[in-house]
Amino acid sequence: MQPIRVTKRQACELLAIGREKLRRLTEHDPTFPKPYKTGNHRQSAVYFDYQDLVNWHKAQGGNE
């Protein structure tokens, strides 16, 4: 069973990129899936939708 949401760390591992590259993608690539928070507080956990990441990677020519 695939996860529904992944953390920033897991997203980096899935895409084989560093945290800085992930930050740049979220800020500058309009096609990259947007992260979402689980709460309204500044320190709330940030997640990405797993299937959105997989679809984005495939659209970029990924071999997954």
Domain limits at 23? 5-59
pLDDT at 11 (0 to 100)? 96
For 30, the token pair is 């309009």
Q: Is residue 55 part of a domain?
A: yes
Instruction: Give the residue among 20, 21, 22 at the shortest CA–CA distance from 6.
Output: 22
pLDDT at 1 (0 to 100)? 72
> How many domains, the chain?
1
Q: Is residue 48 part of a domain?
A: yes
Q: Is residue 64 part of a domain?
A: no
For 60, the token pair is 């970029």
Q: Is residue 11 part of a domain?
A: yes
pLDDT in tens, 6-29: 999 999 999 999 999 999 999 999
Number of H helices, E strands in the chain: 3, 3
Mean pLDDT for the chain overall = 92
Residue 6, phi then psi, degrees to nearest 5: -130, 150
Q: Cα separation of 53 and 39, whole Å? A: 21
For 62, the token pair is 């990924």
Rounded to two decimals, the pTM is: 0.83
Q: Is residue 50 part of a domain?
A: yes
